[in-house]
Amino acid sequence: MANYFSIFLVVISFVTGIVWLIWALYFAPKETSPTNESESNKGAKEAKDTELPAFVDFCKQMFPIFFGVMIFRSFIYEPFQIPSGSMMPTLLTGDFILVEKFSYGLKDPVTRTKFLETGEVERGDVVVFKYPLDERKDYIKRVVGLPGDTIIYRGKQLFIKKACREGQNCTGLEPVSVKSLGTGQYSLSGFSLSLFEEQLGDVKHQILHNPSLRSSTTEVIVPAGHYFAMGDNRDHSEDSRRWGFVPEENLVGKAVFIWISFQFERSPEDFLPTWFPSGVRFSRVGAIG
């Protein structure tokens, strides 16, 4: 859906711009040579805009708006809504976030072909990407493994052996630092979740485990041009452990900011519909860790 909207913005910007340009070049009234300007001449000039056909006037007024939105959304920031709890506690259902589109390169908004390199993915980044099994869907997860890394997830403990180039002083398989922060703050489907602080590279963030669930073992080597991504709600996230790696070309951008957060806690019996917010979590507005 997001990609269809990008195509729509490109098409509508092109159409309104071309209509306005053709009118200005070939059909707009020509200005007469400058003379002593009389009141009637001034009036004629001021009336020129009113001579525009309705459709041309619409295109003239709307082209800057459509073009500006296209540039902002395609190359700078794009808004997204968090629809599930797979990234709890970092992101909650009802969070509205901004995704920085230029973090990892500028892409053609229609074909998503990168034409300018601007940065690289770092371990610990929260990224939005096209779901590899259905690119019509946008997913959001945290990057755990970079190309060439060995990733092992066993007994709810993450181990990483970083990619090593020839000649480097390479490290072996190392456990990712995790510190318990207790339980009781978060729950899901009636189960109390355990809160931990994890450190991936320079990024400290919080994750959740469900002590009532066991986790399977995952052991992979991340191929070139791909990333291994996991949700912070480790036992309730469909991520790279289940559907594989994130191709670099599927990256949309880096999630950087929560600009508003709504609660949706209405029951079907309420007067207002369930999709209508029941409250605003102003405390959540800010940068994403």
Do the bridges between strand 157-161 and strand 174-175 make them parallel or antiparallel, or are there none, so unpaired? antiparallel
Is 8 or 57 the better-scoring residue by pLDDT? 57
Would you say residue 233 lies in a domain? yes
Distance CA 35, CA 73 (A): 46
Residue tagged active-site, from 6, 86, 194, 261: 86
CATH number of the domain that residue 191 is part of: 2.10.109.10
Quick one: average pLDDT of 133-158? 96
What are the distances in angstroms from CA 46 to CA 20, 28, 39, 40, 49? 18, 14, 11, 10, 7
Q: Residue by residue, what is the 3-state secondary structure of 203-266?
A: EEEEEEECCCCCCCCEEEECCCCEEEEECCEHHHCCCHHHHCCEEHHHEEEEEEEEEEEEECCC
Most confident region among 19-28, 55-64, 158-167, 242-251 by mean pLDDT: 242-251
The answer to whether residue 277 sits within a structural domain is yes
Please tell me whether residues 66 and 85 are part of one structural domain.
Answer: no
Window from 140-154, 155-169, 259-273 with minimum mean pLDDT = 259-273
Question: Which has the closest alpha carbon to 110: 6, 194, 254?
Answer: 6
Per residue in 51-67, pLDDT (tens digit) is 788 998 999 899 999 89
Asked if residue 143 and residue 8 are part of one domain, the reply reads no
101, 141, 194, 254: the catalytic one is 141
Q: For 178-209, how does the pLDDT look when each residue is reduced to its tens digit (9 = 90+)?
A: 999 998 789 877 789 999 999 998 899 999 99
Tell me if 80 sits within 8 A of 253, measured CB to CB. no
Annotated active-site residue 86? The verdict is: yes
Q: Has residue 4 got a pLDDT over 70?
A: no
The pLDDT score that the predictor gives to residue 40 is 52
Q: Tokens at residue 67, please?
A: 């073009």
Provide the residue range defining the domain that includes 205.
76-287
Residue 215 shares a structural domain with residue 133: yes
Amino acid at site 256: V
C-alpha separations of 238 from 18, 144, 199, 233 in Å: 45, 14, 21, 10
Residue 264 and residue 197 share a domain: yes
Residue 34 lies in a domain: no
The average pLDDT across 127-146 equals: 96
Q: Supply the mean pLDDT for the chain.
A: 87
Instruction: Give me the pLDDT at residue 165, please.
Output: 76
**Does residue 278 sit in the same domain as residue 153?**
yes
Residue 33 in domain = no
pLDDT at 38 over 60: no
212 is an active site residue: no
Of all residues in the chain, the percent with pLDDT exceeding 70 is: 90
Q: For residues 273 and 209, what is the distance between their CA atoms, to the nearest angstrom?
A: 32
